[in-house]
Amino acid sequence: MVIERTLAIIKPDAVGGGVSGEILARIHKAGFRIVAIKSLRLTKAEAEGFYAVHRSRPFFADLTTFMSSGKVVVMVLEAENAIARWRDIMGATDPAKAAPGTIRREFGSSIQNNCTHGSDAPDTATFEIGYFFPGVDLI
Ligand code: ATP
Ligand code: MG
């Protein structure tokens, strides 16, 4: 088992819907250490930079408009197998297909408005952590 870090985001639908606290409580209960956390509203350009890997997908314009529509909470989470574990706790991308008890199943409302983000691999986690916490000594 290796200690990993992943980037998690509580998306604008969840912040606006008042469920950030519940999601943070689940993060604590699952045993993650919150290495860094901040709340901000992304510009459209910042959302486009973050999701650049999806720029040719049909949902890119709507996704980046959504991600810049309100405040988000961005965190670096640390745990054994943090990347896969956070994705398990979030559930499948589409809340309708997510397993019962997962965050997206309980709080997501559509495949786009699915309340949380999680890095999907070590290299994307490194990119995403640096995107939001550049030059920050994360201890
Ligand atoms: P995330 O990267 O946000 O953790 P994910 O890895 O489960 O989610 P991706 O395929 O990376 O899913 O898609 C990124 C985000 O784009 C999704 O979380 C969702 O908000 C949005 N999205 C994905 N597929 C669709 C779709 N078919 N229609 C609309 N929005 C979508
Ligand atoms: Mg993804």
- Residue ranges of domains in the chain, CATH in brackets: 3-132 (3.30.70.141)
Record the pTM.
0.96
Ligand nearest, relative to CA of residue 72: 1
Q: Say if residues 107 and 98 touch (Cβ distance below 8 Å).
A: no
- pLDDT, the chain, mean: 97
Is a pLDDT exceeding 90 seen at residue 80?
yes
* Host H or E run for residue 34: strand 33-40
Rounded to the nearest angstrom, the distance between the alpha carbon of 118 and the centre of ligand 2 is 7
pLDDT band at 1 (very low <50, low <70, confident <90, very high): confident
Single-letter amino acid code for the residue at 131: Y
What would the two tokens of residue 129 be? 């952590």
Rounded to the nearest angstrom, the distance between the alpha carbon of 120 and the centre of ligand 2 is 6
Give nearest CA residue, ligand 1 atom 19: 112
pLDDT band at 62 (very low <50, low <70, confident <90, very high): very high
Is a pLDDT exceeding 80 seen at residue 59?
yes
The number of beta carbons lying within 10 Å of the beta carbon of residue 68 is 18
Residue 137: the pLDDT is 83
Give nearest CA residue, ligand 1 atom 4: 117
For 12-44, write each residue's pLDDT tens digit: 999 999 999 999 999 999 999 999 999 999 999
Residue 136: the pLDDT is 80
- 117 annotated active-site: yes
Ligand nearest, relative to CA of residue 104: 1
**Looking at beta carbons, which pairs linking 49-55 to residues 24 or more positions away fall under 8 Å?**
49/131, 50/128, 50/131, 53/124
> Which residues are within 8 A (CB) of 133 and not within 5 positions of it... i.e. 6 or more apart?
36, 76
